[in-house]
Chain A
Amino acid sequence: MQDYQSQKSIVLDILDAHQSMPGNLLPILHGIQDTLGCIPSAAVEDIAKALNLSKAEVHGVISFYHYFRTTPPGKHTIRICRAESCQAMNSKALENHAKQTLGIDFHETTADEHFSLEPVYCLGNCACSPSMTIDGDVYGRVTPEKFDQLIAVCKGAN
């Protein structure tokens, strides 16, 4: 866990930059997660204070949205689509293969902190199901073999 004191000034800058924007909470949370990789729980108090909200309200928003996270992700985030079109092209096999290969379930990070695995419900890539993303890059028609190749490339890059 990184200590929040070193991140606090970044959070305050982001809060400052969005001060006059109407409906600014989501853009602020995105800004923080984009920069720090997650929204540290300790930041909730600063966000609440700046927006004149209760801590519970801010926490309620963070926990409502699947995309926001309060713990740091691994070096690479893998998102596998679980929705119908991908299921029609056997995404279940891909899902199971990924869990087994990485040794983790959805919402978990490998012990070496290389990979986090997240479910996603449609990437708009349904014409080439099954789909997944690695650090935001979309891959289509992903077979277990292709998954292994992509993971190997990620590991090689480290």
Chain B
Amino acid sequence: MTRLFVSRDSTALSLGAEQVAKTLQEQASSKGLDIQIVRNGSRGLFWLEPLVEVETTQGRVAYGPVQAEDVAGLLDSGLLEGKEHPLYLGNIEELPYFKNQNRLTFARVGLTDPVSLDDYLAHDGYRGLKNALAMPAADIVKHVTDSGLRGRGGAAFPTGIKWNTVLNAPAEQKYIVCNADEGDSGTFSDRMIMEGDPFVLIEGMTIAGLAVGATQGYIYLRVEYPHAKVALNQAIAAAYQNGYLGENIQGSGKTFHLEVRSGAGAYICGEETSLLESLEGKRGLVRYKPPLPAIVGLFGKPTIVNNVISLASVPVILDKGGEFYKDYGMGRSRGTLPLQLAGNIKHPGLFEAAFGMTLRELLYDYGGGSASGRPIRAVQVGGPLGAYLHEGQFDTPLDYEAFAAISAVLGHGGIVVHDDTVDMADMARYAMEFCVEESCGKCTPCRIGSTRGVEVIDRIVGNIDKDKNTALLRDLCDTMMCGSLCAMGGMTPYPVLSALNHFPEDFGLPAAKA
């Protein structure tokens, strides 16, 4: 029997992977070929999806991008033996785009069957949990603190400090909440983990539970991710069946329960307090802090709220130790960040790297420049609340502090590329419009200011009292930054002001000095 791999990742599916898998199965059956198709996650080289990998005597060999109509030809030319063909790529792990990554969190994604517990165990799965079960809670927290891991959901808050707060908060009941709302444009790493290696998230959350004494976890999953929900629920069921979730985990006497809850299409529910309100069954209004969720969180109890990637990075830290993880990275940005290349880029995909490489390296050496072949003009990093960078800033290293120093954010590591056909006044207007659409409505600068922001930009572009309205837009941005309760209103000015400052000509204003 020959094992073949065709991804079940949403993006692979969006390009026809389902049809490819079906056609492969049908044609192999009709030819009497003995094959088994594993539906893996994605390697993250999306310009090559749908990818077909074959286990051969010379190792794993890839072909891509494969469409259903290519299948017959592939089989005829010796697909199952890994023979030559125009779509032949060789071993995916030898391609520079893959080879030069540091895959710690994504070590198994695209390699294994995401919902097979046996496969997970065979590829070093649950080693972190095994270590954690043998440790006092405070030692687990110490490993996470030593690793230097900072929250990957946007704000980059040290995870160890957050866990320590919850550990020291006395309470009968505590919770672990995974923020799987991933609403930022240009980000898909959370989705890829949940679809491609759900066990690593489950393991991370279980370890978090042991670390702080929480027995119940929730994954708050955005409703736009139906495939992730299926994979998570399949993996959770397998973990329960095999004593990795529930009562008496692996005979340790410890308990951890886990459930997936669906969001309902509100970007603001990615903000942690709004997320908790939503989990409690309310409108997703942002709560005032303090108290922190670590003290008064879900249902009023101490709660860890962490991003998917933060939690999915915990198993490798507990397996190999905090120091191992910390050895990757630069400055105060330790470990690896799964970078996501999207928008107008030739080689879009997921690239997990230690902090410190420059944006330019990523855009050109790996991303291959724009998809349209035109010059790259503006790059938005860190989601819709992130600043737009111009060419002169592409040498900034990917590091939280280096980005802060140029009034930008690294956030979740999402990178959206625009070529020179982009209208930056349009993008600024859209940023305000998005805030109108997604504001929770609690504070005036965000709720009303964003609506006024759209109008002011329209007046600038429409050449009505240009100078006065430009001053007004800056003033409005100032008010939003200072007068908003959360980063929705407080950071919408980032894309707006960066567009205005770096690309004034698009607003009909004199060009910026080079």
A, B assembled together: yes
Is B188's CB under 8 angstroms from A127's CB?
yes
Is B186's CB under 8 angstroms from A84's CB?
yes
Is B282's CB under 8 angstroms from A88's CB?
no
Instruction: Give A25's nearest chain B residue, CB to CB.
Output: B281
The reply to whether the CB of B33 lies closer than 8 angstroms to some CB of chain A is: no
Query: Nearest chain B CB to A17's CB is how many angstroms away?
Result: 15
| Residues of A in contact with B, size category | 35 or more
The contact string, 1 if C-beta is below 8 Å from chain B, for chain A 133-153, is 000111111000000000000
Query: Nearest chain B CB to A21's CB is how many angstroms away?
Result: 9
Most chain A beta-carbon contacts within 10 A, residue among B223, B299, B371, B434: B223
Is A125's CB under 8 angstroms from B223's CB?
no
Residues of the B chain whose Cβ atoms lie less than 8 Å from the Cβ of A124: 10-11, 182, 187-188, 190-191, 224-225
With A61-B283, A127-B188 as known contacts, state yes or no: A136 contacts B265, CB within 8 Å: no
Is A85's CB under 8 angstroms from B185's CB?
yes
Q: Which of A17-61 contact B (CB under 8 A)?
A: 22-27, 29-30, 51, 60-61
The reply to whether the CB of B267 lies closer than 8 angstroms to some CB of chain A is: yes
A123 to B226, CA, bound (A): 10
Is A66's CB under 8 angstroms from B184's CB?
no
Residues of the B chain whose Cβ atoms lie less than 8 Å from the Cβ of A66: 264-266
With A27-B262, A64-B284 as known contacts, state yes or no: A136 contacts B15, CB within 8 Å: no
Is B183's CB under 8 angstroms from A122's CB?
yes
Query: Nearest chain B CB to A153's CB is how many angstroms away?
Result: 12
Q: Which of B145-166 contact A (CB under 8 A)?
A: none
Query: Nearest chain A CB to B461's CB is how many angstroms away?
Result: 16
Is A88's CB under 8 angstroms from B344's CB?
yes
- The 8 Å CB contact of A126, one of B282, B340, B434, is B340
- The 8 Å CB contact of B281, one of A26, A83, A89, A122, is A26
Is B349's CB under 8 angstroms from A61's CB?
no
Residues of the B chain whose Cβ atoms lie less than 8 Å from the Cβ of A68: 264-265
A64 to B282, CA, bound (A): 9
Residues of the A chain whose Cβ atoms lie less than 8 Å from the Cβ of B284: 64-65
Query: Nearest chain A CB to B275's CB is how many angstroms away?
Result: 11
Is B224's CB under 8 angstroms from A88's CB?
no
With A26-B278, A125-B188, A128-B11 as known contacts, state yes or no: A88 contacts B340, CB within 8 Å: no
With A121-B434, A122-B185, A138-B10 as known contacts, state yes or no: A22 contacts B299, CB within 8 Å: yes
- The 8 Å CB contact of A83, one of B46, B185, B190, B417, is B185
Instruction: Give A132's nearest chain B residue, CB to CB.
Output: B14
Instruction: Give B46's nearest chain A residue, CB to CB.
Output: A127
The reply to whether the CB of A116 lies closer than 8 angstroms to some CB of chain B is: no
The reply to whether the CB of A131 lies closer than 8 angstroms to some CB of chain B is: yes
With A88-B344, A124-B187, A126-B340 as known contacts, state yes or no: A26 contacts B264, CB within 8 Å: yes
With A22-B299, A67-B264 as known contacts, state yes or no: A141 contacts B186, CB within 8 Å: no
A120 to B185, CA, bound (A): 11
Query: Nearest chain A CB to B437's CB is how many angstroms away?
Result: 7
A140 to B12, CA, bound (A): 9
Is A89's CB under 8 angstroms from B264's CB?
no
Residues of the A chain whose Cβ atoms lie less than 8 Å from the Cβ of B278: 26
With A121-B183, A121-B438 as known contacts, state yes or no: A126 contacts B267, CB within 8 Å: no
With A23-B279, A29-B264, A65-B265 as known contacts, state yes or no: A127 contacts B349, CB within 8 Å: yes
The reply to whether the CB of A87 lies closer than 8 angstroms to some CB of chain B is: yes
A133 to B35, CA, bound (A): 31
Query: Nearest chain B CB to A66's CB is how many angstroms away?
Result: 4
Query: Nearest chain B CB to A81's CB is how many angstroms away?
Result: 8
Residues of the A chain whose Cβ atoms lie less than 8 Å from the Cβ of B348: 126-128
Query: Nearest chain B CB to A97's CB is how many angstroms away?
Result: 18
Q: Which of A67-96 contact B (CB under 8 A)?
A: 67-68, 83-89
- The 8 Å CB contact of A84, one of B262, B263, B343, is B343
The reply to whether the CB of A109 lies closer than 8 angstroms to some CB of chain B is: no
Residues of the A chain whose Cβ atoms lie less than 8 Å from the Cβ of B417: 88
A25 to B180, CA, bound (A): 19
A65 to B440, CA, bound (A): 10
Instruction: Give A26's nearest chain B residue, CB to CB.
Output: B281
Is A60's CB under 8 angstroms from B283's CB?
yes
Is B14's CB under 8 angstroms from A89's CB?
no
Instruction: Give A136's nearest chain B residue, CB to CB.
Output: B226
A68 to B223, CA, bound (A): 11
Instruction: Give A51's nearest chain B residue, CB to CB.
Output: B281
A29 to B281, CA, bound (A): 10
Q: Can you name 17 extra interface pairs (CB under 8 A) apart from A85-B185, A85-B342, A121-B267?
A: A23-B261, A23-B299, A25-B282, A26-B281, A30-B223, A30-B264, A65-B284, A68-B264, A84-B384, A84-B430, A122-B186, A125-B14, A126-B343, A127-B46, A138-B11, A140-B11, A140-B14
| A contact residues vs B (CB 8 Å cutoff) | 22-27, 29-30, 51, 60-61, 64-68, 83-89, 120-129, 131, 136-141
Sort A-B residue pairs by CB-CB distance and give the 8 closest, nearest first. Answer: A25-B281, A67-B265, A65-B264, A126-B342, A83-B185, A140-B14, A88-B343, A127-B348
The 21 sampled A-B contact pairs (Cβ below 8 Å) are A30-B223, A30-B262, A65-B264, A67-B223, A67-B263, A84-B185, A87-B427, A88-B342, A88-B416, A88-B417, A88-B418, A120-B265, A122-B187, A123-B224, A125-B14, A126-B185, A126-B348, A127-B341, A127-B349, A138-B14, A140-B15
